[in-house]
Amino acid sequence: MSTAGQVIRCKAAVAWEAGKPLSIEEVEVAPPQKQEVRIKILFTSLCHTDVYYWECKGYTPLFPRILGHEASGIVESVGEGVTDLQPGDHVLPIFTGECKKCRHCLSEETNNMCDLLRINCDRGVMLADGKTRFSINGKPIYHFVGTSTFSQYTVVHEGQVAKINPTAPLDKVCPISCGICTGFGATVNVAKPRKGQTVAIFGLGAVGLAAEGARVCGASRIIAVDLNPRRFEEAKKFGITEFVNPKDYNKPVQEVIVEMTGGGVDRSVECTGSVQAMISAFECVHDGWGVCVLVGVPKIDDAFKTHPLNLLSERTLKGAFYGNYKPVSDIPNFVNKYMNKELGIDMDKFITHSLPFADINKAFDYMLQGIGLRCLIHLDA
């Protein structure tokens, strides 16, 4: 029986206030409006960005809210004007978008900085009418980055929905919607290490380990930097060849790496969001040709500080957003390459835990304790 055009009642994990456990509630999900799509979410996973905004450390609180942005599901219904998606399509909702009309989307100089649908963590309403599609007994529940995947049904702008191969396993490809593409693309598309070069990866979470794109590119040495020694053994599966824990040294870790490599690494990718790690990642690349790519999201008041001579010595500092992939145009092909075993990475390695929806708060515990990489949450369980 079709639910198109009707309010759907379903379970959602609602954040009522900062830092407090999410509460499984019955919410009403309104039908999609113009240029919107309603999606049945089957799988979602927790990303550090969800935790940052749940904790609200340095950010403007916006509650009650449904977090979540790394997910996979099936289109339930579409709103007015949606022509590229239809009920039954298998999709990945993406935290940033592609309108295909603005200067950024049409530019050959950038891939994914859409003027209309660029990630906005502070907006809790839909663009079409400035209202939420979630409510409980008439009380609005705010959205998060336009996706809010910690709900069995969600409403997303069509420009933030990637239609994928229907034969792709939705549990396996779930992390592609954020962590995998962010780390892999930052390495392959932005840092672009050459065969035989040396690469340093700062942070061994899912994004950092997705930077195993360095292995795919043929890097001869991949040096991992992380404060959690429990991650080191697991990281060997991702091509990491050496490990550095800054706690083991009484000098800046960039100096340690420069000494290890005889002048610095050829490429570095920073995936932690720590401004000190960003500085270290930049200052550990070789002068003359070294490239550092920043991926992690810093705190709102952080400032990057380094001596100008580090730039004048022909080191290059870059930023990467979502791996430089266009959400709607590029992600379907990324999934196809995964299905055809053309990427050279194994998605199974990234999903280290699996939980039913009712236990979603355990996923927060795992992440806060630095346990595992991605925890897959089954919304139909």
Residues involved in catalysis: 47-49, 69-70, 99, 102, 105, 114, 118, 178, 374
Asked if residue 64 has a cis previous peptide bond (ω within 30° of 0), the answer is yes
Q: How far is CA 248 from the centre of its chain?
A: 30
Distance between CA atoms of residues 97 and 83, nearest Å = 16
Q: Which residues neighbour 15 within 8 Å (Cβ) at sequence distance 6 or greater?
A: 22, 54, 63, 64, 65, 66, 67
224 phi-psi bin (left φ>0, alpha ψ -120 to 50, beta other): beta
From the list 324, 328, 322, the residue with the least C-alpha distance to 110 is: 324
Task: Say how far apart CA 49 and CA 71 lie, in whole Å.
Answer: 14
Amino acid at 287: D
d(CA 22, CA 53): 13
Q: Is 145 helix (H, G, I), strand (E, B) or coil?
A: coil
Give the whole-angstrom CA distance, residue 300 versus residue 297: 9
290: left (phi > 0), else alpha (psi -120 to 50), else beta? beta
Interior CA angle at 276 toward 274 and 281, to 5°? 95
| Furthest CA-CA distance within the chain | 67
Give the separation between CA 1 and CA 3, rounded to whole angstroms: 7
Sequence-distant (6+) residues with CB within 8 A of 251 are none
Q: Is there a contact between 267 and 199 (Cβ–Cβ < 8 Å)?
A: yes
